[in-house]
Amino acid sequence: MRRIGVMLMVAAVAAAGCGARATVPTLQPASNTSTETTIDEPVEPIDPAPVSGSTTTSTSDAPSPAPAEPPDVAVDEIDLMLLDIDETLAELDQLLNDAAAALAAEEGEILP
């Protein structure tokens, strides 16, 4: 009877150990979640981290979440507008150079 009791305790401890081991792999990916790796990880989303909707590249190692969901800001569009403005500023520089050259020009002389 005592042997049966000891065997049951060993079995219970073993079962508890197996359960603990089974949970460890699921925690590891969650703690290292990043936008680059979560797509390929076939892990249950136990505690899904908030995913940023922005176009930023580095979101790893961000333990403290933002105070609110980041709004949808069209930074790419603004970047394109700025590139366009940079080009028009370069054109403006050329026009200013043309004007400076015109101001430096003289009527010239005909009479020898």
Residue 38's closest CA among 27, 47, 28, 29?
Answer: 29
Q: CB 33 → other proteins: shortest distance, Å?
A: 14
Residue 85 DSSP class: H
**What 3-state DSSP class applies to 60?**
coil
What is the Cα–Cα distance from 99 to 88, expressed in whole angstroms?
Answer: 16
SS3 79: helix
Residues 33-72 that bind other proteins (CB under 8 A): 52, 54, 56, 58-59, 62, 64, 66-72
Contact between 11 and other proteins per CB under 8 A: no
Site for other proteins in 65-84 (CB under 8 A): 66-75, 77-79, 81-82, 84
According to the binding rule CB under 8 A, does residue 85 interact with other proteins?
yes
Residue closer to other proteins by CB (options 31, 64) is 64
